Amino acid sequence: MAMARFAHLALLAVALALLPGIALAGEPFVPSWIKNDPAAKTVAIEIVADWNQVERYRRDNIRTDIIDFNGYWGGNLTIVVPAEWSVEIEFINGSSSFRHSLMVTRVYAQSEMPVKLTAEDAIWGVYTDPPEGIKINERRQLNFVAQQAGNYFLACARQTHLMDGHWIGFEVRDSIKQAVAIIDETNFPQEQPPGRP
Ligand SMILES: [Cu+2]
């Protein structure tokens, strides 16, 4: 009897893990590239596009078509910031080959992603100019207030990069004391090199 109940619970756990949208998220942490200043209600975030490109090309049998932000892509990391805080993003194109950009957008299901994001898609008008991307080794600063709680994307507006997975989650949340990052482990293949610590 007890064994049967245990088996049912185990099955339930497996079913939950397989359900899309129910992510088994990791513990919130503050990576080296997020600097909180609670007294000033400000967070500074440094985001490097194609941070892991070199490492991927160096390894054998690793997908090289992943384009990342700080080593994360396709929503397998979400940055969570307190509502009403000022957000200062330093965006660096670390790619050795491609232009990239950064834009705050609404949440898109994979099936409804536009082929290409335009300036009109930017929430609060927050995007690096031009949307087609800055050149390699260029940088831009984005300064804005996280004015409304909710779920958003930080996405690249270049060509088809959003559809290709060049986005991470961005959440504005009430009642948290500092900005954190959360990795979605179920969405991060073990064979991939880890993201930026
Ligand atoms: Cu991109």
Residue 56: the pLDDT is 79
Q: Tell how far the Cα of 173 is from the centroid of ligand 1, in angstroms.
A: 26
Q: For 3-30, what is the mean pLDDT?
A: 57
Q: Tell how far the Cα of 28 is from the centroid of ligand 1, in angstroms.
A: 25
Q: Tell how far the Cα of 160 is from the centroid of ligand 1, in angstroms.
A: 8
Q: Tell how far the Cα of 86 is from the centroid of ligand 1, in angstroms.
A: 25
Q: Tell how far the Cα of 182 is from the centroid of ligand 1, in angstroms.
A: 21
Q: Tell how far the Cα of 67 is from the centroid of ligand 1, in angstroms.
A: 6
Residue 1: the pLDDT is 42
Residue 20: the pLDDT is 45
Q: Do the domain assignments include residue 196? A: no
pLDDT band for position 16 (cuts 50, 70, 90): very low
Q: Do the domain assignments include residue 193? A: no
Return all residues near 96 (Cβ < 8 A) that are at least 6 apart.
50, 53, 54, 136
Which of 46-55, 142-151, 173-182 has the lowest average pLDDT? 46-55
Whole-angstrom distance, CA of residue 154 vs CA of residue 90: 13
Q: Do the domain assignments include residue 14? A: no
Q: Do the domain assignments include residue 146? A: yes
Q: Do the domain assignments include residue 115? A: yes
Q: Tell how far the Cα of 15 is from the centroid of ligand 1, in angstroms.
A: 34
Q: Tell how far the Cα of 154 is from the centroid of ligand 1, in angstroms.
A: 11
Q: Tell how far the Cα of 197 is from the centroid of ligand 1, in angstroms.
A: 21
Q: For 99-127, what is the mean pLDDT?
A: 97
Taking a C-beta distance cutoff of 8 angstroms, is the pair 154, 103 a contact?
A: yes
CATH number for position 46: 2.60.40.420
Domain count for the chain: 1
Q: Do the domain assignments include residue 15? A: no
Q: Tell how far the Cα of 60 is from the centroid of ligand 1, in angstroms.
A: 23
Q: Do the domain assignments include residue 100? A: yes
Q: Tell how far the Cα of 167 is from the centroid of ligand 1, in angstroms.
A: 8
Mean pLDDT, all residues of the chain: 89
Q: For 113-140, what is the mean pLDDT?
A: 97
Q: Do the domain assignments include residue 6? A: no
Whole-angstrom distance, CA of residue 167 vs CA of residue 121: 14
Find the length of the chain.
197
Query: For 77, how many CA atoms within 13 A lie in the half-sphere containing its CB?
Result: 21
Structure tokens at 98: 């491609």
Smallest CA-to-CA distance from 100 within 64, 143, 56, 138 is with 138
Q: Tell how far the Cα of 61 is from the centroid of ligand 1, in angstroms.
A: 22
Domain region containing 139: 24-187
Taking a C-beta distance cutoff of 8 angstroms, is the pair 104, 194 a contact?
A: no
